[in-house]
Every structure is written in structure tokens, then in C-alpha cells.
Structure 1
Amino acid sequence: MEIERPPQPPPVAAAVAAAAAISMVLGDDDLLREILVRLGLPTSLLRAALVCRRWLRHASDPAFLRRFRDLHPPRLLGAYLSTSAGPAPRLRFLPIRPVPELAAAARRAGSFFDAFKGSSAAVYDSRGGRLLVTTFDDRHDSTHQVCRPLSPGGDTTVVPPPPPPPPIQLNNDEECLIYHYGEFLRDDGDGRSYFCVVMGFSELQTTVYLYELHDINWVVKASAAAQLALLPPKSRVMLFDSANFYMLSTTNRILVCDFPSSSISVMELPNGVENKPGGCIMLSRGGSSGIFLIYVKESQLLIFHHRMGANDPGSWSLVDSVSLRQVCANLDTARWPSVDGPSAGVKLCAVGDNAEFVLLEIFGTIVFLDITSRQAEKVYELTPEDKELVSVRPLMLIWPPVFPQLKDAYYDQKERCEAQSTA
């Protein structure tokens, strides 16, 4: 017995019905925004903006971008690893948790320093998709640059070196003065601007100057001084946010310089935390909520938060504790010695904002740890040729995305082609 089948609509009619259904969804601005906000990657937003003027308007709307960032925090693309191999530091890019959609961006980041062949390069800071780089030629002459490795042209802007130390009045001729520098990129810089913090330490006073680069000129933005006898840090445990500068001193205290009020104070470390040699402490920006302190103690990664307030100095609270033994169980750790004990070979190399991730060196292996998901990934294994690890600098995807400045003729042509294809 032959089963009678319902008649199928003509192919043209089916295509028209499908187009009408799609138009009903994508023609609704509310539904379109819900679709766009789920794309997940800024690069996907850029491609969506090429569809038409309406999509560009939604994708580039500031309120939409704030919501997109809340749902999809800025993504780590990889890290630049610097080692002391040979007569000059060796710099390479290590992709982290690569996805096919970002393969082109990872290749661009990896090949960026090919243009610096013949000179050694050091990355002093990284914010978003920008790097603060100093290169040295054979004569040891240095050039300072702010770079955007992910831009199509690999934009590089030469900037002046940090300013000379300011004159600081000493109490007597026998008093010793030590200067210490910290260089930091702006969160929302124009591609050239960055900050330089210059600290002067004497036996009786600590003085801090904040300089900002404007139109290739250094401008003093603020300064502060206090009768604090602190020693400069032995390692670069520093942090700079929109208003405050933090520096971990060798006295197990954090110097806090509030530039808006031109004041300097001292913050005690959390209970049980000690600034021991070996890179066991790093600080992380927490936005308006304060700062985070990440501390490695044997096989535990401890995360503390210090909430800042105008009338409440705040206090440290332990917000997370991660067992390195457990999170690294999926890695090939058979040859690693025990991570317990005072001689544990675990070093903090870099941390993300809001303590979202850390990059660690564990017995010669560079490990990326997503703190939120508790997922660890082996990124690189140091070789004898690498000699010694110098630095690890994360590279984030550019945020907010830079939408193309397309002319009306582009969209006019696109709309004409679409109209002809549906005619």
C-alpha cells in the first residue's frame, strides 16, 4: 500500500518562507541585540557590523558593549614569554586556549616581533591589546615604543624614555637616596599615552611622582610625600589603577599612594602572608571594588580582596583558595617534585584583572590557570637553552573593539547586491 505524502512547496516558495521567518527575527531590534550579545568574541561583533548600518549601530552602541563585556569578560589571547637565552633576551608568543576564530589574531601576535630582528626587546607592561616595549641595539641604545600587535598594521609609536628623576630635597649630605621606576600603560589610552611612577626613597622620607605622557611630552600629574622610611622592592610587585599606586616594599607592607588626595599611606599584608623571595605575591586590579592579592603558599594559591572606600579603609578578606595539586592533576606532573614545603618551585609570573587567571612557573613549566573554572593548561616547558625566565606578559584581545570607519558607499553597494540577489 502506497503512503500518500503531502505535497511539498515549490523550492522558491520554501526559500521565500524561510527568508520571511529570518526577517521576522532579525528585523526585531530586541531579538537582534539578544543574538549579537551571545556571539562571545569581539571579533564576531566586528564581522556582524559589516552586515549593514543597522547591525553596526547595535554592535557599537555603548550600552550594548557594556552588557557584552559583563557577559564575556575580555579574553586572553596568549602571553609573551621572555627568557635570557644567548647574549640577548629571547621573546616569543604563546597562544593560550586557542580557538579557530582567533587563529589569525594569534598568528599576527606571534609574528609581531619579527620586525625587531637584530635587536633585543623587553616588554615592560601590557594592557588590553597594547604593549610597552623597549628595544636595545648592538650599541645598547634603547628605543621606547607603545605597540598594538593585533592591529592590521602592527601599529608602533615611538615615545620618549621615562623622565629623569625629580630633584628631592635631602635632610643632610650623608643621607642616601634611591630611585625606583614603574611604567604602566593606560586602560583607555590613545595608543601613545602611558604613566610613569618615580619613587625616591631616603632614610626618612618616601616621595612619589606621577608622570603622564601627553603628545610625546612628560607632564607631572601628581606628587606625594610622607615621612616613611621604606625600602624599594627587590622585585616589581607594583600596581597602578585609575587613582592609586601600590608597591610591595621589603618590609612586608604595601605602600599606597592616592594621587587625587596627594597622600601616602601603608597597608599591612593579610595575616599569614609574607613577602618572601621567589615571586610568591602579585597584585591585581579590581576596578572600583579595590585590589586583589594573590599569594602562593606551598601547594595553595590564596586570593585576598581589599575593598576600598572613601570612609572605610577596608580590610583584607580571603575570597578563594585553590589547591595547585588538584587543578594541575590533568597535567603531566610526574617529574615535578612535591609542591609542598619551603623550597617549593612555584612562582607567580602574571595575573589577570579581578584575579580571573594566573600564569605560573612550576618547576620549569609555564602553566595557565583559569581561577573561575579551575582549569589548568600547560603552556610551555623551559629548555636548557632558555637559561632563565625573565618575564611573562599577557596579551588580551582589544577592548572595546575598534569598529571600521566604513563609508556610506560600502553599505549602499552591499544593499544593492542583496536586492539584486533576492529579485
Structure 2
Amino acid sequence: MEPKRPRPPTSPTPAQPPSHDVSKVLDDDNLLCEIIVRLAFPTDLVRAALVSKRWLGHASDPAFLRRFRKLHPLRPLGFYVATAGGTTAPRFVQMPSQHPELAAVCRRGRFELDSFIWDCTNGSVIIISEQGGNGLTSRVYSPLFPSRSMPVVPELPPLDHVTPANYTFEKLLFREGDRSGLPYLWLLMQSIDHGYTVHVYMLQGGVWSKHTSATTEFPYLPSEPKPLLIDNKIYMAGALSRQNIVLADNTRCVAAILRGILVVDLKDSSFFTIQLPEGVEFLDRDVQLAKTDDDSGVYLIQLKDLKLRIWLHSSSTSNWSLVDTVCLREMFVALRTADHTVGDEHTLVRMKEAGDNAEFIVLVMGTSILYLDIKRRELLKVSDLTAHEQFFVHIYPFMMVWPPTFPAPKDAAARSARDKGAIKEE
């Protein structure tokens, strides 16, 4: 048998020129936008914007951001849990089973607080602290940028009336996309006699000036109205009556029955009421309002008999439409099977917070804090309540800043030149 001849050595394959398919795609603005919009997180958009001025223009375009927001609902990075009156320091609970991208964002932040939380919105926490015995001072803290200075919220001017109020409620309201670092509006509500007087102040040049005042005869409001600023209107769930009820643990309490949504129109300093969907009547702990991303209306989320019903009230048609129904019973059973510390279906469930666009809600079930992603139909246990937190607990979802803060065009160009992987424009 003739021995096998050794094969001649093969010369290495010459390097192939880069395919023109990639440049053909990336040079097409429509295709490029279709690629960028499929990125998962706002941090990805910022990285894309650093490639070039052209990519920055696409990623920061308002119409593109609205589309991205609809495709990728914002997820909380975690929650601040605090007791009413600030008897204990608030604690931050990171979202369980978090995506590595969001977990990396949390690792770069500093979330510890030793001050009372007044509110938490759009990547900022409003804290109240004592300053050298000079009383309480409100400051804006950015946990994702801990090195930044904390702006001081100016004090409100004295009110110009002398009638003592039976009840006073204050709330800082932020307009979406405001870059000032300070609240845009301050809502001050006072119950005087049989009605409510609402004062709205606007921050201009570091000084609060009265924007509008209005008075309405509205018998009751919930103890925590949770007002929403949508376009030039402030929405609050309202109550028209009170009644004695028996809770699941056989205790009795006086509860407000909600029958409408009170709206303050800032344009003409007027009030009006949106009637609830036909047949809907509920207690103040059973309802949450949520804003729409495009300011086209308001969502109403009702919890009743372990079932969520979500309505949308359109500003253009003034009509209600039932947009979603979520049955929680089976979700609770599955969660309890995985974690026996979660209460059973007979445990009292309360809604605490709702995300924008009705994308999620935060529930308290017995001593457990639960997070329901409505869009994905995912129910997670976030944390257990401590003994101090089981009564009068406040939960503040902490969200990433939206819209993202994009680099200036010259910064993006400089980064593009340094980045070897950047694609050069012709």
C-alpha cells in the first residue's frame, strides 16, 4: 500500500474586506432607529448617543423617546420603605432578581438616608432634615449621583388668610422632563369649614410665587390624596361620603367612599369632577390613579376581590374604557407555594403605589411587600415589613431618570473619536 502523502500546508485565508451590509443598514436612518429602539434600558440609549452626533439626534428625539418608553416600561431600581412620622430611618430595598444592567446602576449609587422622606420621583428623593436648630429644611437628593450638591427647596411665603384650617395637605409636583432639579409646583390644600381651598405655587428664579387659588365645596378627601400633575391639571381621588365598614380581621373603621375624581384646572383656576365608571364605588385604600405618558388622560386602578380592573379616562373624549383586568388569586397561590412567608388569599391586601401608565403596582399583603408588573404579569415579593413598619408604612418606588440625560453634542463627538469601535460618518 502506497503511503499517504502529506498534504501541502494551506495558506491562511486572506482577510476579507468588511461587509457593506453593515454600513448599508447603519447609513439608513429608519433602520438605525429600528435597531436603537430595541435596546432594553435608558442606559443603553445614552451609550448609543455617544457614538456620534447622528446617533445622538436619533436617541434624543422626543418622538423616538415616546416610542421607546411604550416598548420598554420603566422598572423600579428599588423601593424606600419608611414609617409615618419618621420614627425609624428609611431603608432602601433593591428589586429582587434584577437585570445585571440595573444592578450595576444600583452599585454605583448611594441610597442610605438618615432623614425623613417627603417624596420620591424621577431619580430624586425629597428629604427633610434639621439644619443647625433652624427648623426643617427640604432638600433634593440624587442617589444615582451622590456627589452632586443637594439643592434646598425654598420655603413657601406666608398665607394671606387668617382662618384656621381643619386639615392641611402639601405636595411637591414635578413636571416631566424638568431639568431644574427643583419641584415645578407646590400644592397646598386646606380644609376650611365645608370645603377645600387649593393654593398652587410656581418656582421662578428660586422664589415661590402664587400661580392660582381656587375653592370648592367637596365634603371629603382621602387622608393622602396622592395628586397627579398631568398637563395643566391636577387629579385627585375624591370622596363624597363616609361609612362604617368591617375589615377582614373583624375590626371596624370609618372609611371614605370614593365616587369621583377631583380635578384642578390650572389654566382658569377652576374645579370639576370626573364621575367614576358606571357601577364603580370603592374605598380609598382600594384605588390608585396613574398618569399616562403622553398626558392624554388618567388611569384608574381598582382592587376588589383579588382582582385588578384598570380604566382609562381620555381627555379628548371624556369617556372611560376598561383597558385591562388582572386576576390575582392564582398569582398569590403560586407565590405562596414558592415562599410560605407570604399570606394566603384571606390575608388583607392593600395597594400602596401605582407606576406611570399603569405599568406596575406595589401591594402590602400582611407583612409582605409585593410588586406586580402588570404588563408582564409578574408578581414578586420585594421584602418583609419590620415590626415598626407594619402600621402606617410608606413605600416610595425609586425610578431611573426619564427622559435620560444625554451628553452634549461635542462630548459625544469627542467620545466617538476616542472609541475605536465607533462608526465614522461619511
Normalising to structure 1: TM-score of the pair?
0.80
Q: How does 1:138-157 map to 2 (within 5 A)?
A: 141-151=135-145, 153-154=147-148, 156-157=150-151
**3-state SS of the aligned residue for 2:68?**
helix
Q: How does 1:87-166 map to 2 (within 5 A)?
A: 87-95=87-95, 97-109=97-109, 111-113=110-112, 116=113, 119-126=114-121, 128-136=122-130, 141-151=135-145, 153-154=147-148, 156-166=150-160
Deviation at 1:377, TM superposition (A): 0.9
Aligned counterpart, 1:183: 172
Structure 1: runs of 5 or more not aligned:
none
Over 3 Å counting, the alpha-carbon distance change for 1:388 and 1:94 in structure 2 is farther
Quick one: which of 183, 194, 210 aligns to 2:184? 194
Contact kept? 1:197, 1:209, Cα under 8 Å: yes
Contact kept? 2:167, 2:191, Cα under 8 Å: yes
Aligned counterpart, 1:400: 403
Aligned counterpart, 1:260: 267
Runs of 4+ in 1 over 6 A off after TM superposition: none
Deviation at 1:299, TM superposition (A): 1.6
Normalising to structure 2: TM-score of the pair?
0.80
Over 3 Å counting, the alpha-carbon distance change for 1:363 and 1:176 in structure 2 is closer
Aligned counterpart, 2:355: 352
Aligned counterpart, 1:290: 297
The letter of the residue matching 2:209 is V
Comparing 230-239 and 212-221, the one that deviates more: 230-239
> 1:8 & 1:353 partners in 2: Cα distance?
62
The letter of the residue matching 1:112 is F
| CA RMSD, Structure 1 to Structure 2 (Å) | 3.5
The letter of the residue matching 2:42 is P
Query: Aligned pair 1:64/2:64, yes or no?
Result: yes
Aligned counterpart, 1:339: 345
The letter of the residue matching 1:104 is A
Aligned counterpart, 1:48: 48
Deviation at 1:205, TM superposition (A): 3.8
Comparing 327-336 and 243-252, the one that deviates more: 327-336
**3-state SS of the aligned residue for 2:334?**
coil
Contact kept? 2:349, 2:366, Cα under 8 Å: yes
Aligned residues: 396
> 1:374 & 1:304 partners in 2: Cα distance?
17
The letter of the residue matching 2:326 is V
> 1:193 & 1:81 partners in 2: Cα distance?
22
> 2:43 & 2:10 partners in 1: Cα distance?
40
Over 3 Å counting, the alpha-carbon distance change for 1:345 and 1:154 in structure 2 is farther
Over 3 Å counting, the alpha-carbon distance change for 1:59 and 1:307 in structure 2 is closer
Query: Aligned pair 1:381/2:384, yes or no?
Result: yes
Query: Aligned pair 1:203/2:188, yes or no?
Result: no
**3-state SS of the aligned residue for 2:44?**
helix
Deviation at 1:155, TM superposition (A): 5.2
Contact kept? 1:289, 1:308, Cα under 8 Å: yes
The letter of the residue matching 2:33 is R
Over 3 Å counting, the alpha-carbon distance change for 1:181 and 1:166 in structure 2 is farther
> 2:413 & 2:265 partners in 1: Cα distance?
50
Structure 2: runs of 5 or more not aligned:
241-257
> 1:137 & 1:325 partners in 2: Cα distance?
48
The letter of the residue matching 2:223 is K
